[in-house]
């Protein structure tokens, strides 16, 4: 089982879009894939056509705050993706966590018994780097993927996010990799091309070769309740996520360049 956390404290940079469609691409390739929605906004849940009924269906809140296992909470969603849905009640976990001794380790614990059930687990994080939900994701993941929109101020945001990840790294006992993914890339825009070059210079091999291109189709599919592989399998967005999935497979198989496995010291090198 390989666990990816999609992170960035910046809102609206494309985390959920990547989570849903990367999970769709991995599932389409035949890998059993679980998406865990860790955002009280529940956008990934909606994007996969799911609407948990309050008080009836289990959500990720029941997993983190109660006795429900991930296997019990997981539902078969569109595109062959398994989903542990979120609902607004997840916001209450912050308050509850303040009374617990090690609230940031709960998800990692809950994932242990599912190791045989899933090949990939994709964690969609809220736009907060310092909250307990993102802390749970970072504790549980093998690789944190920093999703960076190729627009104005992207590089500054990415560097700030990397710093936060690095601080977390130094506090964590387990080493997780850090990779950077450029998204909403529009080749026609000079700023987008310049930012991609700057990301390459800054993050080197930690930057995925694949950049997810800007696409109207991707905006649309979020409202249609299924990943792009289901809605428009011949689209270029579908190609982008297939290429990203291939890179993720190589990463999970340990075929990536050793220096792209950004441990604390290597991540530090990126800040030079
Ligand atoms: N590659 C893309 N091309 C075009 N639109 C995109 C792309 N990626 C994301 N979007 C759009 O940008 C908006 C924000 O994307 P998304 O919800 O994935 O971001 P997010 O980082 O998860 O946001 P939040 O921080 O609120 O969770 C959405 O309207 C989405 O459809
Ligand atoms: Mg989101």
Indicate the number of domains in the chain. 1
User: 39: Cβ below 6 Å to ligand 1?
Assistant: yes
Atom of ligand 1 nearest to the CA of 220: 31
User: 242: Cβ below 6 Å to ligand 1?
Assistant: no
Residue 153 CB partners (closer than 8 Å, separation 6+): none
The CATH number covering residue 79 comes to 3.40.50.300
Tokens encoding 141: 């993941």
Buried b (16+ CB within 10 A) or exposed e, 47-82: bbebebeeeeebbbbbbbbeebebeebbbebbbbbb
Ligand 2 midpoint to CA 219 (Å): 13
* Largest pairwise CA distance in the chain: 51
Q: pLDDT digits over 92-145, tens only? A: 998 899 998 889 999 999 999 999 999 999 999 999 878 999 999 999 999 999
Parent domain of 199: 2-269
Residue nearest to atom 23 of ligand 1 (CA): 12
Can you give the C-alpha Rg of the chain in angstroms?
17
Q: pLDDT digits over 219-233, tens only? A: 999 999 999 999 999
Q: Please state the rounded mean pLDDT for residues 85-92.
A: 95
C-alpha span between 209 and 177 (Å, rounded): 16
SS3 29: coil
Label residue 264 by pLDDT band (50, 70, 90).
Answer: very low
Residue nearest to atom 8 of ligand 1 (CA): 14
CA 61 to chain centre: 18
Q: What is the reported pTM? A: 0.93
Residue 16 in contact with residue 223, Cβ under 8 Å? Answer: no
């Amino acid at each position: 089982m390989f666990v990816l956390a999609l992170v960035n404290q910046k809102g609206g940079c494309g985390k959920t879009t990547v989570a849903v469609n990367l999970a769709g691409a991995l599932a389409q390739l035949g890998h059993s894939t679980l998406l865990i929605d860790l955002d009280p906004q529940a956008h990934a849940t909606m994007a996969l056509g799911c609407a948990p009924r309050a008080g009836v269906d289990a959500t990720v809140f029941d997993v983190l705050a109660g006795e429900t296992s991930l296997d019990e909470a997981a539902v078969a969603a569109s595109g062959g993706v398994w989903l542990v849905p979120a609902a607004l009640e997840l916001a209450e976990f912050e308050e509850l966590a303040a009374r617990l001794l090690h609230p940031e380790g709960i998800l990692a614990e809950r994932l242990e018994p599912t190791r045989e059930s899933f090949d990939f687990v994709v964690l969609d994080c809220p736009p907060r780097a310092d909250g307990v939900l993102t802390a749970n994701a970072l504790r549980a993941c093998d690789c944190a993927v920093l999703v960076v929109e190729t627009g104005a101020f992207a590089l500054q945001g990415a560097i700030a996010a990397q710093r936060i990840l690095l601080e977390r790294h130094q506090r964590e006992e387990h080493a997780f990799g850090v990779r950077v993914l450029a998204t909403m890339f529009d080749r026609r825009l000079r700023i987008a091309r310049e930012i991609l070059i700057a990301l390459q210079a800054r993050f080197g091999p930690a930057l995925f070769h694949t950049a997810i291109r800007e696409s109207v189709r991707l905006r649309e599919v979020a409202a249609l309740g299924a990943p792009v592989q289901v809605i428009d399998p011949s689209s270029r967005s579908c190609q982008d996520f297939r290429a990203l999935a291939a890179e993720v497979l190589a990463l999970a198989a340990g075929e990536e360049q050793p220096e792209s496995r950004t441990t604390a010291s290597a991540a530090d090198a990126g800040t030079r």
